[in-house]
Amino acid sequence: MSDRSGAPPGGMGRAMPLVIAWILIGSFLWRVVVAAHEYQMRTEQVMTMLIDLGLVVGLIGMRDRVPTPLFWCAIIAGIGCFALRLNGDDGWWTGHLSFSVRSR
C-alpha cells in the first residue's frame, strides 16, 4: 500500500505552512513599522484583505504541520493585520498603523 498523507511529495508539503506563517508575521510587522504614504485603491484594499484571510484560513487548515509557537504567532499576526484596519480612516484604507504624506 502507498502512503497517502495528503501532503505533496518532497519538502514542499513541509515548507508551505512555514512559508505561510512567516508571510503573515512579516506582513504584520511591515504594516506596523513602515508608514503608508498613499491610500490603496478599493480593489487593492479588498484584494489584500482577501489574501490575508486566505492565508489565515490556509494556516488553520495546516496547523498540524506548523510548530505550535509559530502557529499562534502567525494567527495573532493575521488577526493583527485586520485589527490595523480598524485604526481610523487612514488605517482602513492603507492597512498600516501610521500614515504620512511625503513632502515634495
Report the 10 Å Cβ neighbour count for 88.
Answer: 10
* pLDDT, greater one: 2 or 26: 26
CA 34/CA 40 separation, integer angstroms: 15
Burial (Cβ within 10 Å: 0-12, 13-18, ≥19) of residue 31: buried
Please say if the pLDDT value at position 69 is more than 80: yes
Domain spans, the chain = 16-94
Please give the pLDDT value at position 8.
58
What integer is the mean pLDDT of 41-59? 96
Q: What is the pTM of this model?
A: 0.85
Please give the pLDDT value at position 10.
61
What integer is the mean pLDDT of 25-52? 95
